[in-house]
Amino acid sequence: MSANSRLTIAAHALAWIGLYQRQGHEVATSEQIATSANTNPVVIRRLLGELRRAGLVGSRRGVGAGWSLARELTSITLLDVYEAVEPGPLFAMHRATPDQECVIGYGIQPAMQGIYESIEETLRRELARVTLEDVLRDVLAAPR
């Protein structure tokens, strides 16, 4: 299994747009953001589409097309971003019901469910504490 980078790339895109707008630009293109994130512009467009549906960014078509923040970085939390790009629970149970005649098969899901709920609650609480303004501040303070 590999780690999911959707939250990180979405936060990257939002911080990039926020900084770009502070530098006096109205909109950023997916190509510009993709260059910074070192990924394909299609990946960026898909994520930005999800962020647009969540009300975090807006887009403009035609001449001068691009993406802009719909809210200030100070009012966007990592939880907002997470909920926009990570559908469903963090952890899942078996796809098929385990063998209910086996002691482990019978008890594993109830045992794990409580653990997973606690982890997800902690994750959400921590993500809600961090704004994209915090992220941008830390990015700009990182030594080069």
Phi, psi (degrees; rounded to nearest 5) at 101: -85, -15
Q: What is the CATH number of the domain that holds 42?
A: 1.10.10.10
- Over residues 56-76, the pLDDT tens digits come to 999 999 888 899 999 999 999
Q: Look at residue 1 and tell me if it is in a domain.
A: no
pLDDT, residue 3, reads: 58
Domain that holds residue 124: 6-140
Number of domains in the chain: 1
pTM of the prediction? 0.88
- 3-state class percentages of the chain: helix first, strand second, coil last, to nearest 5: 60, 10, 35
